[in-house]
């Protein structure tokens, strides 16, 4: 109708588009960095082109599978594709490096492609299948968390499978057709005086790689000569990882700046709709005057979210992040502005992209206290909230329980009512006509319809005693004022009563203090229950994000254990051994220790995004051991080398592809680690965990894996000799 303006109250698509745009940019940067890493190691544009082709082919193929599965382009699937950028080139890098190695020995490109593909094919299958095995537990995560990360896991698995298919087929074909013998000359060949700058650069890169290999060879000799000390370091790494896991603070999801702040406003418990409306309007005007605020949506009244008239909601939409202060400063300014409105309190929290809460609360994390005895609950609730506010990990706590509302009670003199011929139904009808907004008619026009509501004049609602002036109909048709047969009194009344499992309950919400984690807060709350002596009849139950986090604490270790067990089973099937998979899995603590140290030093919590990163690290890090052990087993079986000579040779031969695959994965995670813009808070922990874990594991596994391999090989030989002697 004329006079009504329609405006968009909140448009989340702006932040979603901005977030997706930043992730797309990080994806392109990751692709560029991975191609650069490939060039540094392979030193020719032709050799660099071959594995680089795998990236777009794998990603485009993944998009097709995503469309068939009904997936969308969102933060999680784009994060998976960004991480996949470092994974999908791994198989191609290992394949082309092996082919180039045969060409450096003098084989033609075609012969090298045949030999290299035949030699490395099983290794690539082992690498890929074991990596996908790590993702299987993610597919079976339950509840909302499982639904969130299922797309992430499936997207990543599809990209990795496609890269394996391309690396086993297209990569050898391109090597046979595109590589030239002169382009893969070893670094020992001298340069001609007329060599170009490009040739000098590639020759210098080759010499630097040879120096690194020689340095690793010297370090490996020392480690193999001091196997006992190296084994102690490997065992210490395991215990240090366990200690760091207990030490690092744990969270649920990182807090994001989405540009939207949700406010819950509360007025005096006896505030009327009119009084609350005036307070809400004052607050809205003050908020609109704040720099950085784009618009404000305000709501008061009773509905599914508001249980009382003195409670309201406001949604503050901020300007883009680059045009305003940071979120913390904006929330401080909002608090200061509303504090100037007498009689109104606000509780604010930023709206999150990923949320498991199904109801609004005053602070981000919720719990409920229930008791069969409502009097006992009312007595203990203020003490509980006050005690929570004194906990070091909690910044503020509040309850939505409001017991101090005012209720008007009418005491009817039944004898007088009977004498005057007034029935209870007549009194109920009169009160409902006056205050219940009874609809008595509808006015229809050409463009609209209007409901006619019956009520008393506004001045008759100002004072409680005005209710006694209401005319009441008698049986004879006459009317008498209500005061002739009733009196009024005021009493305290709870504004609303929540129930949990049919028992009276009250919701308590809380926010975290700066530098504190959700795990610390929950631990202190659980201790507080014992310290304060809360009655056994009062049940404490976490709700929303706090409940999901508490459930995830117990499931996280099982999730990691499931990933390890799944990978052990897959590797056991591939190698037909129960010893060699243990050697491969021994590399895992080195990845976890780097990830946990990175989180601890950077001041991040170990949240669900970090857990996903550690699970991915489990799949990446064992690649080093697989590449070494595959070659060592072949050398022992076909060339009859001793275990020490075999693992030493395998470590040196696989050193370059190990470095290449690790740096490819590391550089693909760097854009996430240094992510900026909308949604960066969600991506940074994943990148940080992967970079920290890869750096630490790279240093440790190159030296500990050969020693652990030799230890288990000796153990296996002793067992076989024991079995042989017993059979004789």
- 429: domain CATH number is 3.30.2090.10
Same domain, 532 and 594: no
What integer pLDDT is reported at residue 608 of this predicted model? 80
Same domain, 465 and 593: no
Single residue among 127, 146, 181 that ends a domain in this structure: 181
- Tell me the per-residue pLDDT of 340-360, one tens digit each, with 9 for 90 and over: 888 888 888 888 877 777 677
Q: Is residue 606 part of a domain?
A: yes
Same domain, 323 and 434: no
Single residue among 471, 491, 511 that ends a domain in this structure: 491
Same domain, 280 and 221: no
Q: Is residue 192 part of a domain?
A: no
Helical pair 109-139 and 75-104, crossing angle rounded to 10 deg? 150
Residue carrying structure tokens 């979603």 = 16
What integer pLDDT is reported at residue 199 of this predicted model? 67
Same domain, 708 and 600: yes
Query: Which segments of the chain have a pLDDT < 50?
Result: none
Q: Are strands 405-412 and 486-493 parallel, antiparallel or unpaired?
A: antiparallel
On whether the CB atoms of residues 629 and 580 are closer than 8 A, the answer is: yes
Q: Is residue 561 part of a domain?
A: no
Q: Is residue 93 part of a domain?
A: yes
Residue carrying structure tokens 């990845």 = 591
- Tell me the per-residue pLDDT of 217-242, one tens digit each, with 9 for 90 and over: 999 999 988 888 988 988 898 899 88
Q: Is residue 342 part of a domain?
A: yes
Same domain, 152 and 18: yes
Q: Mapped to the 3 state alphabet, what secondary structure does 289-353 carry?
A: CCCCEEEEEEEECCCCCCCCCCEEEEEEEECCHHHCCCHHHHHHHHHHHHHCCCCCEEEEEECCC
CA–CA gap between residue 42 and residue 97 (Å, rounded): 8
Same domain, 304 and 369: yes
How many helices (H) and strands (E) the chain has is answered by 20, 15
Phi then psi for 229, rounded to 5 degrees? -65, -40
What's this model's pTM, rounded to 2 decimal places? 0.77
CA–CA gap between residue 479 and residue 488 (Å, rounded): 19
- Torsion region of 272: left, alpha or beta (phi above 0 gives left; psi -120 to 50 gives alpha): beta
Q: Is residue 2 part of a domain?
A: no
Same domain, 173 and 86: yes
What integer pLDDT is reported at residue 442 of this predicted model? 92
On whether the CB atoms of residues 696 and 620 are closer than 8 A, the answer is: no
What integer pLDDT is reported at residue 248 of this predicted model? 87
Same domain, 56 and 146: yes
On whether the CB atoms of residues 251 and 549 are closer than 8 A, the answer is: yes
Same domain, 534 and 604: no
User: In CATH, what number is assigned to the domain containing residue 27?
Assistant: 1.20.1640.10
Q: Which structural domain range is residue 417 located in?
A: 407-491
User: In CATH, what number is assigned to the domain containing residue 320?
Assistant: 3.30.70.1430
Same domain, 396 and 275: yes
Number of domains in the chain: 4
Q: Is residue 251 part of a domain?
A: no
- State which H helix or E strand residue 379 sits in: helix 374-389
Q: Is residue 254 part of a domain?
A: no
What integer pLDDT is reported at residue 443 of this predicted model? 92
- Interior angle at CA 657, CA 653 and CA 662, nearest 5: 135
What integer pLDDT is reported at residue 191 of this predicted model? 54
């Amino acid at each position: 109708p004329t006079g009504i303006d329609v405006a968009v109250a909140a448009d989340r698509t702006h932040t979603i588009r901005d977030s997706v745009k930043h992730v797309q940019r990080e994806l392109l940067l990751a692709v560029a960095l991975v191609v650069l890493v490939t060039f540094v190691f392979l030193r020719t544009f032709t050799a660099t082109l071959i594995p680089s082709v795998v990236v777009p082919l794998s990603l485009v193929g993944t998009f097709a599978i995503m469309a068939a599965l009904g997936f969308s382009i969102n933060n999680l699937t784009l994060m998976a594709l960004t991480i996949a950028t470092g994974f999908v080139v791994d198989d191609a890098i290992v394949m082309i490096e092996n082919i180039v190695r045969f060409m450096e020995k003098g084989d033609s490109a075609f012969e090298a492609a045949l030999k290299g593909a035949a030699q490395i094919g099983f290794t690539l299958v082992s690498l890929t299948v074991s990596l996908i095995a790590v993702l299987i537990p993610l597919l079976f995560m339950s509840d909302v968390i499982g639904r969130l990360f299922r797309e992430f896991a499936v997207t990543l698995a599809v990209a990795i499978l496609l890269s394996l298919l391309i690396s086993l087929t297209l990569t050898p074909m391109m090597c046979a057709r595109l590589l030239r013998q002169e382009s893969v000359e070893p670094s020992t060949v001298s340069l001609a005086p007329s060599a170009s700058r490009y040739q000098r650069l590639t020759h210098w890169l080759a010499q630097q790689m040879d120096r690194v290999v020689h340095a690793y060879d010297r370090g490996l000799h020392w480690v193999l000569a001091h196997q006992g000390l190296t084994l102690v370091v490997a065992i210490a790494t395991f215990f240090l990882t366990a200690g760091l896991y207990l030490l690092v603070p744990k969270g649920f999801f990182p807090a994001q700046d989405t540009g939207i702040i949700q406010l819950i406003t509360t007025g005096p418990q006896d505030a009327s709709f009119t009084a609350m409306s005036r307070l809400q309007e004052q607050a809205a005007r003050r908020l609109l005057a704040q720099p950085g605020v784009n618009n404000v949506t305000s709501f008061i009244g009773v509905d599914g979210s508001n249980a009382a008239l003195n409670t309201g909601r406001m949604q503050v939409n901020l300007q883009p992040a680059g045009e305003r202060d940071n979120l913390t400063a904006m929330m401080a300014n909002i608090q200061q502005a509303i504090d100037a409105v007498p009689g109104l309190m606000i509780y604010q929290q930023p709206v999150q992209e990923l949320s498991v809460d199904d109801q609004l609360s005053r602070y981000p994390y919720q719990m409920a206290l229930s008791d069969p005895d409502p009097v006992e609950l009312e007595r203990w609730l203020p003490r509980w909230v006050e005690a929570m506010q004194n906990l070091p990990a909690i910044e503020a706590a509040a309850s939505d329980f409001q017991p101090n509302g005012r209720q008007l009670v009418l005491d009817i003199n039944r004898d007088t009512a009977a004498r005057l011929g007034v029935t209870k139904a007549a009194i109920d009808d009169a009160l409902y006509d006056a205050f219940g907004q009874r609809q008595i008619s509808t006015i229809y026009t050409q463009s609209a319809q209007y409901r006619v509501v019956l009520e008393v004049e506004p001045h008759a609602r100002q004072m409680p005693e005005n209710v006694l002036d209401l005319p009441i109909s008698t049986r004879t048709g006459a009317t008498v004022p209500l005061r002739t047969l009733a009196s009024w009194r005021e009493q305290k009344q709870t504004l609303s009563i929540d129930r949990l499992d049919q028992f009276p309950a009250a919701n308590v919400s809380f926010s975290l203090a700066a530098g504190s984690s959700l795990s610390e807060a929950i631990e202190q709350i659980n201790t507080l229950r014992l310290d304060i002596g809360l009655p056994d009849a009062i049940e404490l139950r976490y709700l929303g994000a706090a409940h999901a986090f508490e459930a995830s604490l117990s499931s996280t270790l099982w999730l990691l254990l499931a990933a390890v067990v799944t990978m052990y089973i897959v590797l056991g099937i591939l190698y037909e051994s129960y010893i060699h998979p243990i050697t491969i899995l021994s590399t895992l603590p080195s990845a976890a220790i780097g990830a946990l140290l990175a989180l601890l030093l950077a001041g991040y919590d170990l949240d669900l995004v970090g857990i996903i990163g550690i699970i991915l690290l489990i799949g990446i890090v064992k690649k080093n051991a697989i590449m070494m052990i595959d070659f060592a087993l072949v050398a022992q079986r076909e060339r009859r080398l001793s275990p020490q000579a075999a693992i030493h040779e395998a470590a040196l031969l696989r050193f370059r592809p190990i470095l290449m695959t690790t740096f490819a994965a590391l550089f693909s995670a760097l854009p996430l680690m240094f992510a900026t813009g909308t949604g960066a808070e969600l991506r940074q922990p994943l990148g940080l965990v992967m970079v920290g874990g890869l750096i630490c594991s790279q240093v440790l596994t190159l030296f500990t894996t050969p020693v652990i391999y030799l230890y288990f090989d000796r153990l296996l030989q002793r067992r076989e000799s024991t079995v042989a002697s017993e059979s004789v």
